[in-house]
Amino acid sequence: MADPASQRDALLRAQRQCYTASVLAASSVNRYTNVKQQLKTTPVNGHAASS
C-alpha cells in the first residue's frame, strides 16, 4: 500500500489537472461566445461595442 503522502500528492496532481482542463475549456467557450458577440454587434462611432 502506498504511503498517505504520495497518495495525497497524486490526488492533488489529479485535481490540479482537472481544474486546468476545466479552466481551459471555459476560456475557449468564452472566447467563442465573445467572437460571436463581436460579429453580431455593429460598430458604433467606428468603434466595436466591446468592453
Q: What is the DSSP string of 4-41?
A: HHHHHHHHHHHHHHHHHHHHHHHHHHHHHHHHHHHHHS
- The pTM (predicted TM-score) of the whole model is 0.50
| Cell digits of residue 36 | 460571436
pLDDT of 35 reads: 87
pLDDT of 36 reads: 86
pLDDT of 45 reads: 63
* φ and ψ at residue 3, rounded to 5 degrees: -75, 150
pLDDT of 42 reads: 63
* pLDDT per position as a tens digit, 7-50: 999 999 999 999 999 999 999 999 999 888 888 876 666 655 55
DSSP state of 1: -
